[in-house]
Chains A and B, each alone.
Chain A
Amino acid sequence: MLQALNLTKRYPAGAAGAADRPALNNLNLTIAPGEIFCLLGQNGAGKTTTINLFLGFLQPTAGQALVGGLSVAEHPLETRRLLAYLPETVMLYPNLTGLENLDFFASLAGFRYSAAERRDLLLRAGLPAEAHARRVGTYSKGMRQKVGIAIALAKQARALLLDEPTSGLDPKASNEFSELLLALGQAGTAILMATHDIFRAKEVGTRIGIMREGQLVETLPTHSLTASELETIYLQTV
């Protein structure tokens, strides 16, 4: 579903964060439907760059990013239709309610839902019913994350891109989030998640990739490792 072929990104010299080495170097990666791939690595290792390349917000210097077999650079609109994206903090319109935000963003993607269907989507994403008609400005970070999930559900996204989605969430919210991801994975969504949370990665991920200085240096299946083994490998690698 998500595929990187020799994907390389070099920022123009002089741009913010530009270094001599490419931000992303020759990434090869395939994430099948139902798979949850967790990208670990320090800040600046190339995780966010990878996600932005899949979203088409950046143009690759070399290689290509494919979504559902389509090149992102050549078909940005078509590939975005298949994707949902959850940043660290889901940004919505604070003056609209959760229901209104969901309606607006789902309509933009071409989906029209009845009020009951929208409520159902928000409930599936874990947002309590009493919050549905409240303005998003009053929501906590976790609640906005759930509206973000509901938007992804509404869009029937086949691949999900997550950029440190659990940072700053309390343990309970974080746990609920993991369960949601597992449910989505079981439903056949391909998930790429950049994270710092090794234990969460072990819990939800089917595979884990460790990045360093723009390169994917290690790819491991999670079922064969314990969290502490994973941590040891991570610390040795980065």
Chain B
Amino acid sequence: MPLSPFRLIARHQWHTLLRERAVWLLLGLVLLVAAYAAAAGWTTYRQQQATQVHYQQQARRDWLSNPDKHPHRMAHYGHFAFRPRAPLSLFDGGMDRFLGNAIFLEAHRQNPVNFSEAGFSTGLLRFGDLSLALLLQVLLPLLLFFLGAGTVAADRENGTLRLLLTQGVSWPQLLLGKAAGLLAVGLLLGVPLLALTGGLWLAAQGGAPSLDEVLRFGLLTLFYGLYLALCCGVAVLVSAASRTARTALVGLIGGWLLLTMVLPRAAQALGSYVYALPSKTAFQTAIQADISRQGDSHNPDDPHYQALRDSVLRAHGVATTDQLPFNYGGYVMAEGEKISAGIYTRHYRRLLDTFRQQNQFARSVAFLDPYLALKNLSMALAGTDFLAYTRFQQQAEAYRYALAQQMNQLQIEHIPNRKRPPTEKDHTIDRAYWQRVPEFRYQAPTVQQVLRAEWVSVAAFGFWGLLLLGLGRRAATRLTAL
């Protein structure tokens, strides 16, 4: 049984490429860089994870070691939330390094997430950190374009193309065979890189990975595989449409520059121009303005709180707040917290909407630039995208709100209502209450949520796959040997 022309051509292409010593040199070089990227990714992940765990535990210990205190003082003592690292962040750092890592949680105010890695680094970080994802997204496609430029054009140039076709090879067989041979060489690098990632990812789990984690890694492998196949298809089609391997190479490298260097930056810049964000100051000033319009819980003459007091007194049939059966200060604080948190959330949502529009814009550009589809999907699946970050921010705020309200509740229930004479010590409650506050635990978005947020990128992937198929079919009927 003779091999099909498709397999013969694929095998021939594979052998042709691997006969070149330069190819082995390039492969070796990339593997070396990959080893460095893997080591760097692993070390950074371990360090950051250790730091996060250390400080989160320290914050917990500090919280619990507080003596008997007035609960509102505890609310001001506050707590910290540290952003944990997703295991796959060692593969794709995404935005991680540019986003804050720690947030101080206290009553009455929503603090920003501070201390990004980039904030403490020298300019070196701006050159982009070398991650395994970067190699697979940027370098491997370049290599495939470099190797793939000659796949069909070289045969056309030296005349073997006519002989191939005279032997009864059809254009679809030729194009698919060449692409498959090229892809096999690409996988020679891609598979070790993904295997390396898989090994580190498993090691980072500290136990069996959850189904969610397995799905993330599986999808990541799938999309990277598809992307490499896409690159091979593009390289072979450009090569087939070119007179010479040289023109094919120029076209492919030009396209690579445009798609991986120019367009992503342009898309980002355009996105933030079209959907402008308020400055940090403007954002906070707007929140403050809204809160003072609602009323200031710390100001006893505030009209909103005067009305609140009058209605509470009426309901309980007493003349002064001292006669109420619960701590009125705590009650007012709880009301204030509810109002300010509501206002903050409203503004924050609006801010997030703008971010979402910016990101959605950038994602839509993936219909012009498949690289962006892969980049966004990779970040999202690795848990290093903006979605993961806002999840952290939202969960930290929810935790802060619950903490503040829990302290207010303790005050309402356990602090005497009458005014304390200046000589007397502060009212306190037992430190055992601090135990009742749960620990802060970040819940990463699930794969389903990630895919829902990234549906545009997935659609763009499908679009490019279909487009390539369509172009391939068209090419198969139009190309000639001459």
Contacts and interface: CB of A to CB of B under 8 A. Distances in A.
Interface of A: 52, 55, 57-58, 77, 80-81, 83-85, 87, 89-95, 104-105, 107-112, 148, 151, 155
A84 B168 CA distance: 10
Contacts of B19: 95
A87 B8 contact: no
A64 B160 CA distance: 26
A155 B2 CA distance: 13
A92 B160 contact: yes
Interface string B319-344: 00000000000000000000000000
Interface in B423-482: 480-482
Given A57-B480, A111-B2, A89 B167 contact: no
B349 interface: no
B125 interface: no
Contact of A92 (B3, B5, B163, B167): B163
Interface of B: 2-3, 5, 8-9, 12, 16, 19, 158-160, 162-170, 480-482
Nearest to B480: A57
A220 B19 CA distance: 51
Contact of B8 (A84, A94, A108): A108
Provide the main secondary structure of the chain B interface: helix
Contacts of B481: 55, 57
Given A58-B480, A95-B19, A112-B2, A105 B167 contact: yes
Contacts, number: 66
A19 B12 CA distance: 40
Contacts of B168: 77, 80-81, 108-110
Most buried by A among B16, B163, B165, B166: B166
23 contacts: A55-B165, A55-B481, A80-B167, A80-B168, A85-B163, A90-B163, A91-B160, A92-B160, A92-B163, A93-B12, A93-B160, A95-B19, A104-B8, A104-B12, A105-B163, A105-B167, A107-B3, A107-B8, A108-B8, A108-B167, A108-B168, A108-B169, A110-B168
Contacts of B158: 91, 94
A197 B371 CA distance: 57
A85 B166 contact: yes
A38 to B, nearest CB: 20
Contacts of B482: 52, 57-58
A95 B13 CA distance: 12
A75 to B, nearest CB: 11
B5 A108 contact: yes
